[in-house]
Structure 1
Amino acid sequence: MTGKWNVSAVLLDMDGTLLDTEKVYFNSLVAALNARGYADDAIALCHAMVGLPGPACEAMLLDRYGNNFPLAEINRAFLVNRDRFMEAGLPLKPGTLELLDGLAAADCPMAIVTSSSRRSAERNLSLAGIRSRFDTILTLDDVARGKPSPDLYLLAARRLGLAPQVCIAVEDSNHGVTASHAAGAITIMVPDMAPPTDETRAKCAAVLPDLNAVLQTLRERSSLLHRPGK
């Protein structure tokens, strides 16, 4: 995608994009599976879950291990592990504050678009100290189908009163890119746990190393943001 972008808003994934939580979730689930004897392909399976909502991840576990899989027990262990990992705080991804400051300074409409539940989104954004920056938060609780369905992104654009085509979506996962691209948003990927596939790259307007690069690219490619003093 070449030339200037016609951008009116920015839609931001949460886990793995703004918050460094995907590694916490990944390690928490792998530890829960390993402790209960499901170590054979736990790492590969958990990698495939990155960017998917909880119900989809549970379905993958049942599909892989069968209906006798102790899902409730694994979920409890996952939550214990997750809370233990988060005791030290919830770190932001590099460039998060700079990007949010730049968008706020430009009076740019923005929204959180996450596959997490409302409860998880509120908790994680609060733990990370950035909850107050967002008036619009779309979560798995707001739609019938989470990512990779486009429903969350379509709803986010409607909430902002805009067409998806004039929204930038910032995602970290292949599943997230599938969702935002299907909605028609201009998609930027900042990979976290998994690199983009060739198919994912083809759906992106840009694949960038961090959120500082996203801010720089928005300043260069859109009229939405301008360099200070310019």
Structure 2
Amino acid sequence: MQLTDFAAVIFDMDGLLIDTETIYCQSWQRAAADCGFIITPAFYGQLVGRSRADALRIVLDHFGDRVPMPAFQESVLHYETVCFSEETIPIKPGALELIRAVETRGLPKALATSTHRPAATQRLARTGLDRHFPITITGDDVPRPKPSPDIYLMACEKLGVAPQDALAFEDSDPGVQAAHAAGVTVVMVPDFKAPSPDAHTRAARIFPSLLTALVALGA
């Protein structure tokens, strides 16, 4: 399997192109501590790749009445705003090289993220990745977030390609499930959480880093 086997490429954002999951985890942990309960890194792994609404529902289902909503939501937003405004948002090793390899080959590309558009726009601008993605689909643009296929179906529509002709890069189980459900070939580069057995089944390839993927896909 090579990049040139496909007519277009779709990238996830958080945890794939930019190193944000550690910041997210710390923000949710601090908010939980303020509200009197504990979110461990292992539990946070269940939230990776999910929309905010889904993540909050998972927290509520697990902790029940110990979660003081909406105080917890407000605290999460506060810590995320502070962290993403003040801290450097690192670009993942190999991300720019892979993006440029796609551009060199003349392949159209899109970004498909469950993150809400204002936050996605801010992070893309702060990392300079915005100039590479004139086509950006966010969680605000579709009725159902990942792991539903909606965001990938919309990305393919915007790119003007059939799903089976597109290649996706994802870091999370929900993202892999979403791309696969849309009929898009998906490559996984795990970030915060190791791939599940289901992800091993759905992903065409799994690589330890974008740099490894870059070499393996002939980029």
> TM range, normalised to the smaller chain?
over 0.9
Considering only aligned residues, what root-mean-square deviation do their CA atoms show, in Å? 1.9
Q: Distance in 2 between matches of 1:97 and 1:72?
A: 38
Q: 1:3 to 1:10 in 2, by over 3 A?
A: closer
Q: Distance in 1 between matches of 2:95 and 2:5?
A: 23
- Write 1 or 2 for the structure with the bigger share of helix: 2
Comparing 3-12 with 129-138, greater Cα deviation is found at 3-12
After superposition, give the CA deviation of every residue in 1:134-153 in whole Å (9 maximum; x if it has no partner): 11001111111000001110
Deviation at 1:129, TM superposition (A): 1.2
Matched, 1:105 2:104: yes
- The normalised TM-score by structure 2 is 0.92
Moved over 4 A (4+): 2-5
Matched residues, number:
218
Q: Which residue of 1 aligns with 2:215?
A: 216
Q: 1:197 to 1:71 in 2, by over 3 A?
A: same
SS at match of 1:19: coil
Pairs within 5 Å for 1:1-230: 6-39=5-38, 42-66=40-64, 69-86=67-84, 87-219=86-218
Deviation at 1:3, TM superposition (A): 8.7
8 Å Cα contact 2:4-2:105 kept in structure 1? no
Equivalent AA in structure 1 for residue 142 of structure 2: V
Q: Distance in 1 between matches of 2:48 and 2:80?
A: 15
Q: Distance in 2 between matches of 1:202 and 1:160?
A: 26
Deviation at 1:8, TM superposition (A): 0.6
Q: Which residue of 2 aligns with 1:228?
A: none
Q: 1:101 to 1:4 in 2, by over 3 A?
A: closer
Q: Distance in 2 between matches of 1:65 and 1:98?
A: 42
- The normalised TM-score by structure 1 is 0.88
Comparing 28-37 with 107-116, greater Cα deviation is found at 28-37
Equivalent AA in structure 1 for residue 105 of structure 2: A
Specify every segment of 5 or more residues in structure 2 that has no aligned partner in the other structure, as ranges: none
Larger radius of gyration: 1
Q: Distance in 2 between matches of 1:43 and 1:92?
A: 21
Q: Distance in 1 between matches of 2:2 and 2:103?
A: 24
Specify every segment of 5 or more residues in structure 1 that has no aligned partner in the other structure, as ranges: 220-224, 226-230
Q: Distance in 1 between matches of 2:106 and 2:125?
A: 22
Deviation at 1:66, TM superposition (A): 2.9
